[in-house]
Homo-oligomer: A and B are copies of this chain.
Amino acid sequence: MPGNGYGKEQCMSIAEISLERLQPEAFIRDQVAAIRAAVGSDVAISALSGGVDSAVVTLIGHRALGDQLKTYFIDNGLMREGEPEQIARWFAELDVPVEIVDARDAFFAALKGVTDPEEKREKGITQVFYKDVVGDLVRTSGAKVLLQGTIFTDVEETSAGVKRQHNVFEQIGIDPQKEFGYRVVEPLLQLRKPGVRVVGKALGLPEAIWSRPPFPGPALAARVIGEATPERIALVRKATVVVEEELAGCGAFQYLAVLHEDRVTGLRDGRRDFGHQVEVRCWDSQDAVTATPTELDFGLLRRIADRITSEVPGVVSVTYNITSKPSSCIEAV
């Protein structure tokens, strides 16, 4: 039964459903039943992140629970340009009401001075999101359950020690009931990203959602090396607009912009300008476990660099990542 607790030993015994074996209609039916059984007559909440995983979970949850499900979009200040409005519009069209929660101050306060990547994920995101913000929503809504879009790869990477995924608790010894005051139900635990997309399509999500490239839990905080201040998030948000516009439809698994902390020597109006560097990453991958850099047209790369250096204030240099995962990871943070 999904989401009803998996300990450190059990986590790797979750039965993955491969893309070949996945029957989306049956999967949705099973998960609807499982959610109903887990939630009963309680209220559950779901938090959209803008990614496909949380969108799919919300739609399955809505099908299972109707009005018993409260759906939120938590604006942590780390989202992409226009994201809150876009998400609300998409879900309004699906007749799923979404409440936007402005939690920007709480997140930036928690991220202040934090530069270590794991600490950023842990303190800045996990603690504020699950304890403070979702904790508050749970208390005010009377919810007992949080529906969450954890997928197989998240569990695998966290338990292998690769990276702390923000949404994986139990195999690292956190009991959300005790720690945060609610239970967590995770309907997508047996799927990897391509399976989630198939289910999203079967649910009637618009293609703009189910085909979205993955976006990390810590959002743009994962796209800034060093401290994620509002100013630095604003810079990487502008670079993200360029990268997503230019690479939409390129067929890659995921593409992103990273704002470096390093400064490099550049030139502006004929004078030295000790400026920012942005790194572009674009990955070919099936499931994010391994990945290779996409062989993009060189003219396209040049155009991306030209746009970023002209549209993002203070950026003088743009690079393209040419490493495989491993030894790189998909995200820099």
Contacts and interface: CB of A to CB of B under 8 A. Distances in A.
Interface of A: 117, 160-163, 225-226, 260-268, 270-275, 279-280, 292-293, 295, 298, 301-302, 304-306, 309, 315-329, 331-333
B316 A319 contact: no
A266 B309 contact: no
17 contacts: A117-B265, A117-B274, A162-B267, A162-B272, A261-B261, A262-B262, A266-B329, A267-B328, A280-B322, A302-B322, A304-B322, A305-B323, A309-B328, A316-B323, A316-B326, A317-B332, A319-B319
Nearest to A222: B265
Given A117-B265, A265-B333, 5 more contacts: A260-B262, A265-B332, A304-B322, A305-B324, A316-B328
Contacts of A332: 264-265, 317
Contacts of A275: 327
A305 B326 CA distance: 12
A327 B298 contact: no
Contact of A317 (B162, B309, B321): B321
Indicate how many identical chains form the complex.
2
Contact of A320 (B264, B273, B320, B333): B320
B266 A326 contact: yes
B318 A265 contact: no
A321 B322 contact: no
A226 B323 contact: no
A331 B265 CA distance: 7
B295 A298 contact: yes
A296 to B, nearest CB: 9
A129 B279 CA distance: 35
Contacts of A271: 160-162
Given A272-B163, A326-B266, A319 B317 contact: no
B272 A161 contact: yes
A225 B262 contact: yes
A274 B320 CA distance: 19
A114 to B, nearest CB: 14
A148 to B, nearest CB: 23
Top 7 closest pairs, chain A to chain B, by CB = A319-B319, A267-B326, A264-B332, A316-B327, A305-B322, A295-B298, A317-B328
Given A160-B270, A262-B261, A271-B160, A323 B317 contact: yes
B265 A163 contact: yes
Contacts of A301: 322
Given A117-B265, A317-B332, A319-B319, A327 B309 contact: yes
A196 B163 CA distance: 52
Nearest to A163: B272
Contacts of A261: 261-262
